Amino acid sequence: MIYRIIDLTTKEFLRDDFTFNPDTELAFAKGPPRGLHKPVLDTENETWSEGLTDEELAIIEENKATALEKQTVITYLANTNYVSNNYSDLLKVDEDMAEKYFNSVSDTYGVTVEEILKRRASYIAYLNEF
């Protein structure tokens, strides 16, 4: 049988294992519920609780939000990269063709190339802050 190995001193979950050191560890058959970041075992009541403080949990949630925001920005940059590159390349070759492309993007997506390029620049500056 596989056990949840708990540190006898801190009551924190260490690992899943088949063996344990009875001098420093406790083998517990029932594992912590999902969603706990730092599970701590109450050996008397055989229940699990969160070992992180509210402040530590708030930092984790803030970091998740920042990571999601960064991913959204990166996705936007990836999805608009072709517009930026095509427009820049066309400007080098044929300004009339670049203007037609500019209008085509505006008509198709309801946003101008200029707006896309401005947003891309602001997002790149945002990412460079990290």
More confident residue, 124 or 108: 124
**Is residue 34 pLDDT above 90, yes or no?**
no
- pLDDT tens-digit map of 38-94: 888 787 777 888 888 899 988 888 888 888 888 888 888 887 787 778 778 887 888
In percent, the amount of the chain with pLDDT more than 90 equals 9
Cβ-based burial of 38 (10 A; exposed 0-12, middle 13-18, buried ≥19): middle
Domain map (residue ranges) of the chain: 3-50, 54-128
DSSP symbols for 35-84: T-SSEEEETTTTEEEE-S-HHHHHHHHHHHHHHHHHHHHHHHHHHHHHHH
Please say if the pLDDT value at position 118 is more than 80: yes
Write the DSSP symbol of residue 101: H
Output the six-digit token pair for 48.
């699990």
Residue 27 near residue 4 (C-beta atoms within 8 A): yes
Question: Between these two residues, 95 and 18, which has the higher pLDDT value?
Answer: 18
